[in-house]
Structure 1
Amino acid sequence: MASAANGGGHSGRLPRKRFYRARAHSNPLSDSHFPVPLRPSDVDYAQHYPSFFPATSSPKIRFADIGCGFGGLLVKLSPLFPDTLMIGMELRDKVTEFVKERILALRAANPGQYKNISVVRSNAMKYLPNYFEKGQLEKMFFLFPDPHFKEKNHRRRVISSHLLDEYAYALAPGGTLYAATDVEELGEWMSACLEAHPLFRACSDEEVAADPVAALLCSATEEAQKVARNGGQTYRAIYRRIPRQ
């Protein structure tokens, strides 16, 4: 995104989804061909957030939207937390390209805004530790992931007992994990996995009500908007990362 990151050479016209169509989901266990940093220090932050670099404070990514889709959540979060670096991680190449173009267009059309969001094509189920240090993240999002309905494919689900170990590693104590789905069985699965994990606790109703991000789970993404249009229900799971006892 570096070449047009400040809006230079970009028309500011939003991309059209019909030119970036892709399958709704990809197999997260299959091998894909894209560059992966060997360690978090190898991530080129300046390429993603040129307005923040060079910087003496060396800011780091604090929010990660896992399986970010078309980037709706990132776009909504950006003005709410303008000084916080956020990244979307998306496995599908065409969808990733759409989000890149969307961000560049927004930057060009809104000078000084949307400088804190970016996207990378990657598989968070495999490569999360390659991007984030221990306790680096403050918020992680898993919104409307592939349900993988067949029992034999449950190992492909992005929320599972063993993957929560990695998410707990990347999240700072006090950080928040947000999950949402319109599939009741998957919602129960995700909540059960989180409830059973010793490093997560459910946020109280008071905490959820006071969290401005929580309301976005049912409205910010394209998937959430589709569910709302169809009169469906969204099942949320919002959990806090707690210190190891």
Structure 2
Amino acid sequence: MASLPQKRYYRQRAHSNPMADHCFDYPVSPDAMDWSKFYPGEENTPVEFLDVGCGYGGLLTTLSPMFPETRMLGLEIRVKVSDYVMDRIAALRTQNPTQYQNIACLRTNAMKYLPNFFKKGQLKKMFFLYPDPHFKKAKHKWRIVNQCLLAEYAYVLQECGVVYTITDVKDLHEWMVKHFTEHPLFQRIDDHDLKDDPIVEKLYSSTEEGQKVSRNQGEKFVAVFRRTSDPYLR
């Protein structure tokens, strides 16, 4: 039986420059994407959950048995980290033949190629868990949540789709809240209304980064947003 990969063989720098010229394969349009090599079974089932910057795949493996009928995809820009997630999923499928068929990982740059993979209104949920804070002001434009990228997220999310964010950096949390709430197609969901969402509690410790923050007794900041209807189309 296949054993799970060991992270020590896949270690890589924690950060990657999203503006660098990496070599990526990507389809000219979502219709040109062949998902059959990522997911066994029915080829026409679309991806509906997207974990942007999925790290070592902790959220994917946590949500997979919770939503077995939903296809989920993790995007990761770092080579060794994405290799680890792919090998981890392959091993889990071997160990559990009827499980983990609905998750996959793809190495790409979400800041550049998101519309190449996903159609308008395709996604139901997006996740940004412990994204790179890019502390220096000059690098704030590299943050995965910014004014320009929010238009793309709104494009690929269906109306009433949900975006989950969590970070241990208060400044980044406030940055994300500010940008999402100022965008006309997103509205923050009140914390009280999140109590019935089973996904929220999984944001805190399903990832390696979240577990690290817990060990260091750090604070975690959560904000969840809903994709609203287009006010100009009413």
2:17 equivalent to 1:27: yes
Deviations 1:60-108 (A, max 9, x none): 0000000000000000000000010000000001101000000000000
Q: What is the CA-CA distance between 1:175 and the residue it aligns to?
A: 0.4
Amino acid at match of 2:143: R
1:3 alignment partner in structure 2: none
1:166 alignment partner in structure 2: 152
Amino acid at match of 2:37: Q
Contact 1:12–1:107 under 8 Å retained in 2: no
1:229 alignment partner in structure 2: 215
Contact 1:72–1:220 under 8 Å retained in 2: yes
2:188 equivalent to 1:198: no
1:51 alignment partner in structure 2: 41
Deviations 1:12-52 (A, max 9, x none): 20000111111101001111012111111122111111223
Compare 127-136 and 11-20 and name the one that shifted more: 11-20
Secondary structure at the counterpart of residue 139 of structure 2: helix
Out of 17, 23, 38, which is 2:7 matched to? 17
Out of 83, 103, 108, which is 2:94 matched to? 108
Number of residues of Structure 1 aligned to a counterpart in Structure 2: 231
Contact 1:59–1:85 under 8 Å retained in 2: yes
Out of 34, 50, 56, which is 1:64 matched to? 50
| TM-score, L = length of structure 2 | 0.97
Deviations 1:184-220 (A, max 9, x none): 1001100111110110001123321111111111111
Q: What is the CA-CA distance between 1:236 and the residue it aligns to?
A: 1.0
Compare 37-46 and 117-126 and name the one that shifted more: 37-46
Secondary structure at the counterpart of residue 25 of structure 2: coil
Give the share of equivalent positions with the same residue, in percent.
Answer: 50
Secondary structure at the counterpart of residue 76 of structure 1: helix
Secondary structure at the counterpart of residue 214 of structure 1: coil
Q: What is the CA-CA distance between 1:239 and the residue it aligns to?
A: 0.2
In 2, Cα distance between equivalents of 1:130 and 1:88: 15
Amino acid at match of 2:8: R
Deviations 1:142-188 (A, max 9, x none): 11111000000000000011110100000000000011110010011
Structure 2 unaligned regions, length at least 5 = none
| TM-score, L = length of structure 1 | 0.93
Amino acid at match of 2:11: R
In 2, Cα distance between equivalents of 1:43 and 1:14: 28
